[in-house]
Structure 1
Amino acid sequence: MKNSSRIFYYDLLNITASFCVVAMHCNGIVHYYSDSMAWKQALMVEVLAYWAVPIFFMISGATLMNYRSKYSTYVFIKKRVLKTLIPFCIWSMIACFYKCITGVIDIGSLSVNEFLSMFLTSEFENIYWFFLPLFAVYMCIPVLTCLIEKSEKYLWYMFGAGIITISILPFLCKVFSVEFNSALSFPLTGGYIIFVIEGYLLSKVEFSKRTRLVIYVLGIIGILARYGGTLYLSQRYNEINRIFWGYLNWPSVALATAVFVFFKYNNWDSLKRNEKMYNVIVQIASASFGIYLTHIFVLHMLSDFCGINTNVWQWRTIGVLIVYVVSLLIVKVLQRIPIIKIIIP
């Protein structure tokens, strides 16, 4: 049975973004420069998959900024705690336990302060860094929703000011070797809140074909600039150059915007009309958060215990699919267990 209130392209974005996250985490060699074909291939994977993290924040904005029409702020906070805070705490402890039994961490040698510091900085599992800015974003949303009730033009102003002072000016300063004063950054869109605002606006506003074409062109320019710029500068200095890197940098913003708009306006009717395919997609989308939580353990087990060489191209292609599918199966099984499903909402 189809849920008429469900927005289909959000599910497709969730699935594709979670797959791209797995691809990036199976692509670790991109962070170790070498003038080799393997590194150039890894850089391409990194560039093409990079939109995934901004998209998750954008989906949060698109789905949560209208929460006041459904429930109170108290219920909103309660839902966020159950869906994200509790899983973060429990899975961080699972990661800590895993690293203890594999000898990566000697928990007996840690003081209470060191333990808490590692917990709060996601050192037990680095990929869980995403939770901390997510919590900050959630705290901002009740305030942002008040602006919606006044006028969306305030959100457009915040987004525009953020793009200029957070995405464009810092990049230009790096290019021209000028020291950027971070005090110039628009404080109301500091961090990843800019993507939350953008996700809401993109979901509500209708764009003409000409505007969409401009957005797609900018997204392609972002891809070419990041890949070509990184490749050229890294080869020139014989080390990774990160001028074009960063989720808040303009190439990332341009690409994520293009992807979101593409999924919104693409015709998915053939998938929606096929009820079996529709239900499969909904089921996979409901596992995206769980895949994020669990895939890193699948990845470690395959690479550490099975002796798989993670530097070969097969790992960055077939290996990504294997990690994703195994994680998906694990999540769907765990979601059927009454107590365990609390930590994989």
Structure 2
Amino acid sequence: MRNKRVIYIDVIRDVAMLAVVFVHTCTNMIVSGQGSRLWAPANILETVSEVAVPLFYMISGVTILNSSRTKDLKYLFKHRLVRIGVPFVIWTIISAFFFQIVGDGFKLDLILKKIAMIYNQPVITAYWFLYPLLGFYLLSPAIKTFVDGANKSTINYILILWYITNIVLSGMVNSLPPEMGTYFNAYGNGLMFLSNMGGYFILGYKLSNIAKEKINLKLHVSIFSIGMLVAIINMYIVARYSLQQMPLSGFPTSILLPILASSLFLILKKFEGKYPVKVQVVVEWLAPLTYGIYLIHGIVIALAQSIVNPMNYIAVFGISIVVCIISVWIMSKIPLVNKYFM
């Protein structure tokens, strides 16, 4: 894609980043705050925010699969993997020290063990996002070769296959009691490389190549609004009345997620070229900071929760996002830190 920043991609990046931080600030309330007046809003807002991770993978697919440099293995290993991998490793080490010290005191052997296990599991749960993303980066030259040579029908076929196997059937496994869900659980050795998140990678590429003039704004606003309402009602009823074991209790939400993410993506793309100048300035300023914010937000949230009541997720989010933005912005002004930490 061209060097000039694409505003709607930056808007999606900023919105998704804010949503991810918010979800992680309200976890305590959702898990143990039932009965509080803030519990229902937390569930509603978390459901709305679930589109964040799919959107992140979708814009990764947009930027990588539309780039002419993606087939260049030298560029991949000298630039792309370094840019995402080095900060990830550095903040993994920092996080291992931080959470061990604040949790159980300084125990170097446990810290080193956590760091040594980085290939096996993330040091903190929030970092799970980077594992499939690094895999897509490694596979990106092959995926780029595929999408460049494939026609629309083939790409649609791959996405339909992904939706059935990784979204619908996977949703049934997670939404049915174990004794029933096992019938829809794929045999491990039969799984294809196109994982749950992998489909979003290609989906973003496909949607990015739809001309904004062909996007029906009213249609996608309707789809997103109705779909989100169904997802919110579904998850609220399931959580409110403890129906987690009811057959297919969370199924509607799981199968709606790709549809909701796609509609929101197209809605935001439709406004490309129409965003107010002041909004563009803020969006373009914030977008380069999002990866750094993602990397440090777990530590910042933990610090914020030590200052205010962890159940007050609104206050925790407010403090966390402000501290994250300011901290990353300051670090981005230091060349060496910006190069290796962000």
| TM-score, shorter chain, exceeding 0.5 | yes
Corresponding position of 2:289: 287
Change (3 A) 1:139 1:342: same
What SS does the aligned partner of 1:291 have?
Answer: helix
Change (3 A) 1:267 1:133: closer
Corresponding position of 2:107: 107
Give the one of 274, 277, 294 matched to 1:269.
274
Task: With the length of structure 1 as denominator, give the TM-score of the two structures.
Answer: 0.85
Q: Is this contact kept in 2: 1:147–1:155, CA < 8 A?
A: no
Q: Is this contact kept in 2: 1:225–1:244, CA < 8 A?
A: no
Corresponding position of 2:138: 139
Instruction: For residues 294-337 of structure 1, give each alpha carbon's deviation from its aligned partner in whole angstroms, at most 9, with x where no partner exists.
Output: 22222211211x2x11213xx32x54233212211111110111
Corresponding position of 2:24: 25
Corresponding position of 1:324: 321
Corresponding position of 1:256: 261
Q: Which moved more, 1:81-90 or 1:295-304?
A: 295-304
Q: Percent identity, aligned pairs only? A: 23
Distance in 2 (CA, whole Å) between partners of 1:278 and 1:115 is 39
Q: Is this contact kept in 1: 2:220–2:267, CA < 8 A?
A: no
Corresponding position of 1:197: 202
Corresponding position of 2:91: 91
Instruction: For residues 231-286 of structure 1, give each alpha carbon's deviation from its aligned partner in whole angstroms, at most 9, with x where no partner exists.
Output: 22333336698953799x32221221111111100255252xx3x65333211111
Q: Is this contact kept in 2: 1:230–1:240, CA < 8 A?
A: no
What SS does the aligned partner of 1:37 have?
Answer: coil
Corresponding position of 2:250: 244
Change (3 A) 1:12 1:80: same
Matched, 1:181 2:181: no
Q: Is this contact kept in 2: 1:92–1:119, CA < 8 A?
A: no
Give the one of 191, 194, 206 matched to 2:211.
206
Matched, 1:121 2:127: no
Corresponding position of 1:7: 6
Distance in 1 (CA, whole Å) between partners of 2:168 and 2:244 is 24
Distance in 1 (CA, whole Å) between partners of 2:111 and 2:55 is 37
What letter matches 1:339 in structure 2? L
Corresponding position of 1:235: 240
| C-alpha displacement of 1:30 | 1.6
Q: Is this contact kept in 1: 2:8–2:272, CA < 8 A?
A: no
Q: Is this contact kept in 2: 1:294–1:327, CA < 8 A?
A: yes
What SS does the aligned partner of 2:211 have?
Answer: coil
Matched, 1:149 2:148: yes
Q: Is this contact kept in 2: 1:137–1:192, CA < 8 A?
A: no
Distance in 2 (CA, whole Å) between partners of 1:15 and 1:240 is 35
Distance in 1 (CA, whole Å) between partners of 2:119 and 2:168 is 33
What SS does the aligned partner of 1:262 have?
Answer: helix
Corresponding position of 2:225: 220
Corresponding position of 1:296: 298
| C-alpha displacement of 1:109 | 4.4
What letter matches 1:300 in structure 2? A
What letter matches 1:284 in structure 2? L
Change (3 A) 1:282 1:267: closer
Distance in 1 (CA, whole Å) between partners of 2:285 and 2:112 is 41
Change (3 A) 1:240 1:90: farther
Change (3 A) 1:246 1:225: closer
- Residue ranges of structure 2 left out of the alignment (5+ in a row): none
Corresponding position of 1:340: 337
Aligned residues: 333
